[in-house]
Structure 1
Amino acid sequence: MARILSKFARDKDGVAAIEFAILAPAFFALMAAIFEITYFIFVNTTAQRAVENVIYEIRTGYIYEQFAASGNPPPEQYIKKEICKNASIPNCLDTIKLSMEKYDGNYNSYDRTDETKVFDGGVPGILMRLEAQIQVPSVVFGNAIFGKENMEVTAGLTFMTEPY
């Protein structure tokens, strides 16, 4: 019996396979987590840039000029489409929520669009904040990393409309 055990202890065949079997799950989990976090950062950056593009159009009055003939501010759906067109996020139009706040001279919020759904910022010199919240489906381990099946990306910017 001792002879069999000493032969078994000297034999090195299959050591690499055993080490791989022990380390592979941790390695693949780490790679998937890196991919998931990188994807989240990409989506967050893309959404922020899309909101910034729409805010530029609001701030300079370009969006309001398109709706000037009707005399109404742009509808919420139009701003959502513009953000989602630039963001390239899956199911963006289905999951995006917008809110716009106006501030007075003392930086106190006095008007929120959460209830009204009207994006009226066509008056120059008003301090405003546009915020978009988008649900993004998780790719691999979102539930384990973030505690949710979908990741929520929030992109927003505070700006002052220009005198156009």
Structure 2
Amino acid sequence: MRAIVSMARGLARRFRHNRKGSAAVEFAMVAPFFFALLFAIIEVGLFFFAGQVLETAVQDASRLILTRQAQDSKMKQDDFRREVCNRGKALFNCDGVYVDVQNYGSDFTQVSLAPPIDKNKNFVDNMKYDIGGPGDIIVVRVFYKWPLFVTGWGFNPSNLADGNRLLMATAAFRNEP
């Protein structure tokens, strides 16, 4: 029995003094946290970039309504959605783009910009399409459910119940006469 205890102490002493492989063990302990942080940073950067691309696409496509090109060509909601998608198709699946164009007449105080998310964090698809006439105040809002991937490690920027992030872009303007 003493021989076994003595042999175990000798092995433990040699193990304690041997530093080979300690860097690998330390990296294995830190790596999951490092990669979780790295992927979270990448994901946040991607959805901010996608939000900016969506914002730019909405501003560009809204000029069609502002300058009355959409009214003159009798552009429908799907046509306008396609115009937005063509300006951001590298990042967005056009089937997931929702377009809401509302006419508020001539009074800016009537404008309502509540997000289409109910109390249970579900997206409410009540999109309208009214491009108005000369001098009307128009608010164009475009929504896209951006998929998130790093939400399982304690980082969750989602604002929808299905784990996605609802990206929103808005343009408000008065139609040209």
Name the TM-score, length of structure 2 as normaliser: 0.74
Runs of at least 4 residues of structure 1 off by over 6 A? none
> What is the CA distance between 1:156 and its match in structure 2?
0.8
Describe the SS at the equivalent of 1:157.
strand
Matched residue, 2:51: 44
Structural RMSD (CA): 2.3
1:83-119 C-alpha deviation (Å, 9 max, x unpaired): 1111123322x22222222223362249xxx868443
CA distance in 2, matches of 1:137, 1:64: 34
Larger-Rg structure:
2
In structure 1, what is the Cα distance between the partners aligned to 2:127 and 2:16? 76
Counterparts of 1:97 and 1:15 in 2: how far apart (Å)? 53
- Letter aligned with residue 125 of structure 1: G
Report which of the two has the higher share of strand.
1
Which one of 106, 109, 113 corresponds to residue 107 of structure 1? 109
Moved more, 128-137 or 143-152: 143-152
Distance 1:37 1:116, change over 3 A: closer
Q: 2:150 aligns with which of 141, 146, 149?
A: 141
Query: Distance between the aligned counterparts of 1:23 and 1:115, measured in 2?
Result: 47
In structure 1, the gaps of 5 or more residues are 68-73
User: For the Cα contact (< 8 Å) 1:129–1:157, is it kept in 2?
Assistant: yes
- Partner in structure 1 of residue 130 of structure 2: 119
CA–CA distance in structure 2, aligned partners of residues 13 and 109 of structure 1? 68
Aligned with 2:166 (options 142, 152, 157):
152
Equivalences, count: 151
Normalising by structure 1, what TM-score? 0.80
User: Identity of paired residues, percent?
Assistant: 26
